[in-house]
Amino acid sequence: MQAPVAGAGGEVRGGRIGPYAVLRRLDDETRGLPVPERRFIGRSADGDRTVLVGVPLPGADPARFLAEAEASRYLLGPWSAPAAEVAAPGGAPWHARPYVPVIPLPGALAVHGGPLPERTVRALGAALVETLVIGHGQGLAHAGVSPGAVLLAADGPRLTCFGAVRAAAPDGAARSGLPGLESGSLPPEQADGGSPQPMGDVYALGATLAYAATGHTVPEREELPAALRSVLTACLARDPAARPRPAELLDALVPRTAEPAPGGPADQGRPALGPDAHGDPAGRAAAALGPGWLPGRIIAALARQSAELLATNAPVPPAAPQD
């Protein structure tokens, strides 16, 4: 069976995306949570490079998709996922970044068999907060945070789908219900057509962490872990001014004064931070992502994915269609 390839409008055919032979899909579309692009694992014709490739959904505007992919190339930070290559305008739209073994957050919950442990949710949140802080410092609202945008790797998450809200529809146009946008993660002001702003990213992050902790992006307050209930509820405030600032969110997820957990009930799930982890966000996030941050089943699934791809021979890509 041939793997799919992106056409000019995001449709799929054949076995090639740009210069890459497609090895497999990244997302399991049966998970039920929308993703604003179609993602694949591909390999170069010479077999030397394996990449994650994204293409727009059918019917999406290829120009807006490519504009956001191009803008993502300037993102900084260890857990951002900027595009390394972007298709030339006028051809089939796609972007690519170097491959690392990853599992989308919805797939990780399926592998784990349910919501993730509190320690994992805290560490995930710390890394994503750091990523948003860096982006906001660059003057960039991510406008694409959702469960499907988060990929879990052994060394930490990767935040993808930069600009998905902007790509879905221009400012002033209602975005609620548009393909690829997960409704529970879409800030209400952006759903109504407002311009994406940094505090919208906080809302979307709260919904994403709520999903990681419960399996639902819009859980009942009582479903949230008690230790995370107040901060995640605050993130989901309809009024952007009532949401916590990223620094406040980081303090709630990984407190500066946290000591190595002795194992008592009050400390379960809280990352054990070393003496150098209490200052800048990068140090605190990195400490939270220490050994054991991911459950064993997810680590095993990442190892299987890596082994399977190493054993996969890429098909010889067919010649690129002439435009």
Structural domain containing residue 175: 103-300
The Cβ of residue 192 has, within 10 Å, a number of other Cβ atoms equal to: 13
**What is the per-residue pLDDT across 200-236, written as a single tens digit (0 to 9) for each?**
999 999 999 999 999 998 999 999 999 999 999 999 9
- Tracing tokens 């919208």 back to the chain, one arrives at 200
Q: Which residues of the chain have pLDDT under 70?
A: 1-14, 30-31, 257-282, 314-323
Could you tell me if residue 86 is inside a domain? no
Determine the Cα–Cα distance for residues 220 and 216; give it in Å rounded to an integer. Answer: 9
Q: Is residue 152 part of a domain?
A: yes
pTM: 0.87
CATH number at residue 114: 1.10.510.10
The closest of 50, 20, 55, 64 to 35, measured between CA atoms, is 55
Phi, psi angles (nearest 5°) of residue 249: -65, -40
Per-residue model confidence as pLDDT tens digits over 119-173: 999 999 999 999 999 999 999 999 999 999 999 999 999 999 999 999 999 999 9
CA dist list (Å): 197 to 136, 165, 204, 206, 252 = 9, 11, 11, 15, 22
Based on the structure, what is the number of domains in the chain? 1
In a domain, 183, yes or no: yes
The separation between CA 14 and the C-alpha centre of its own chain, rounded to angstroms, equals 27
In-domain check, residue 89: no
- Domain annotation covers residue 185: yes
Q: What is the 3-state secondary structure (H, E, C) of 243-278?
A: CCCHHHHHHHHCCCCCCCCCCCHHHCCCCCCCCCCC
Q: Does residue 24 lie within any of the structural domains?
A: no
Looking at the domain assignment, is residue 235 inside a domain? yes
Task: Report the C-alpha gap between 154 and 123 in whole angstroms.
Answer: 12
